Each structure stands twice: as C-alpha cells, then as structure tokens.
Amino acid sequence: MLLLLPAVVLLVAFTYYPTVATIIDSFFSTPRGRRPARFVGLANYETMLADPVFRKAIVNNMIYAAVIIPCSMGLALAMALLVNARIAGRGFVRLAYFTPTVLPMIAVANIWMFFYAPDYGLIDQVLGHFGRGGNNWLGNPDTALWAIIVITVWKCAGFFMIFYLAALQQIPPSLLEAAEMEGATYWQQLRRVILPLLMPTTLFISVNAVIEAFRLVDHIIAMTRGGPDNSTQLLLHYIYQVAFGFWDTAYAATLSVVLLAILALIALVQFGYADRRIFYR
C-alpha cells in the first residue's frame, strides 16, 4: 500500500477530486463578486439543452471524431506496415512520419495557416495553376471543419504509427513464414494473421484516438476560435470559452460533465465490444 500511495495521491488529487467537484458544481450557480454560489438543481442542464451553440459543438465534435479516428488509425497502420518492411531509407521515413507528433500544436497551426491562406498559401498556389485558387479554407463554414480535421489526422497518425510498429515487430516471423508456406498471399496474411494479432494494440490506440478527438483544441484557439459561425466549435473549446471567456464556471462544469459522460460511454462500448474479440498472446 505504501508503494501505491504516491499514485493514489496523484489520482485522487488530479482525477477523482476534480471529477466529483465538477459534477457538484454543475448543480450550483456561478459565484459573482460577493454573491456566493447557490443550489439551482438542473437549471444549468436545462440551459444547456436550449443552447444552440452547445448543439452545434456536439454535432461538430461527432463529425470530427467519426472522421479523424478511423482515418488517423488507418493511416498509422499503413505507415507502420511500410516502415516495418525492408525499404531504402527506412530510418529517415520513420523520422519523417513521426516528426509531426513532436511539434507543438501551436507551431503546427501556424504552419497550416500558411498552407490554407487564400491566394498566397501553398495549397492555393498549387490550385491556382488549375484555375482553382482564391479559397478561404478557414473562413468558409463549409470547409473550415474539414481543414481542421486534416491537421489533426496529420499530427496524430505518426504518434499512433509508433505503437503499431512496435506491435508489428513483436509478431513472430515463424507465423508469417508458415502462412506463406501454406500459399497465403500478402493480403491474406494481413487479414488472417497480422490484423488479429494487432487487435490489443488497436484497442489501445482507439481509446487514445477517442481522447484526442475530444481533447485537442490548441489549433482551434490559434486558427479559428470556433468560427466562422461556430462551424469549428468543438465541445472542449466551448467549455474553455464559457469558463475563461464568459467566466460562467457553473455552466462550464455542466458542459464538462456531458463531455465526461460521452467519453465514459464510448469507453464502455469499446471495451465491452472489442475486448471479447481480442486475442492476447
């Protein structure tokens, strides 16, 4: 118990206590000046259900998560399979794939703001040769969220690739050799041998991908601040705005409870559905 004590103290101080305190705060009003917080019951939740920005943030976040989770995981697996093979310059390719992960998100946002800049940005310079320039990627409500999604996939895929690469290197070569001797093609080996053995890693990565889908807001703050017309408003960014922009801590706590509930529900589904179908070596 003494060996576990430091971890227990950290968990209680920085996870359990803040969670319980946030849930309690969601049932109280925000203290203003000399006016203390008072119990308001479900009033904050009623306000939340009638809040159009909250509804927009939820829809945006679901689209955001539904796209970046499979795309970043699929791209990470493809990159891991490539750099696990014997190719020329394999070390350099691994470094190139992993580099976006170590870059600060604010630096990444500034790099991509140059790419997305109308007319003189890198993307519009290329499209201008085909008569398709002049696009305001971050200023158009129809394209802003998709532009943000591209950045997130680009940054997260390299991080997930490292886990897939480590898992691929743990697969015994004898299994693949036996499958090849039985006449299995590369795609059959991938489907019947490699992917099933990667399932524990896939579950771990999927949990992290869900967290990243609801956690990353640095680039939103730096690039769009939730605009235009709340088209890039995500739930965590809205919580940040409400808490530190509008100083409505009680309503921010209410939104945080919803975020915690969404993450808990997704985690239960992931472990309940996937864990029974995973083979642990």
The pLDDT assigned to 4 comes to 94
In a domain, 148, yes or no: yes
The pLDDT assigned to 133 comes to 78
Query: What CATH number corresponds to the domain at position 192?
Result: 1.10.3720.10
In a domain, 179, yes or no: yes
Report the number of distinct structural domains present in the chain. Answer: 1
In a domain, 198, yes or no: yes
For residue 104, give its domain range.
14-275
Mean pLDDT, the chain cut into blocks of 10 residues (281 residues total)? 94 94 94 88 94 95 94 95 86 88 88 89 86 86 93 92 93 88 88 89 90 87 90 94 92 95 87 68 57
Burial class of residue 67, CB neighbours in 10 A (0-12, 13-18, 19+): middle
In a domain, 280, yes or no: no
In a domain, 37, yes or no: yes
- 28 DSSP β-pair partners: 39
In a domain, 90, yes or no: yes
Cα distance between residue 164 and residue 207, in whole Å: 14
In a domain, 4, yes or no: no
The pLDDT assigned to 279 comes to 60
In a domain, 160, yes or no: yes
230 residue type, one letter: N
Residue 232: closest CA among 57, 107, 53: 57
How many other CB atoms are found less than 10 A from the CB of residue 158?
Answer: 22
Residue 162: closest CA among 64, 278, 66, 72: 72
Here the tokens at position 87 are 């190719």
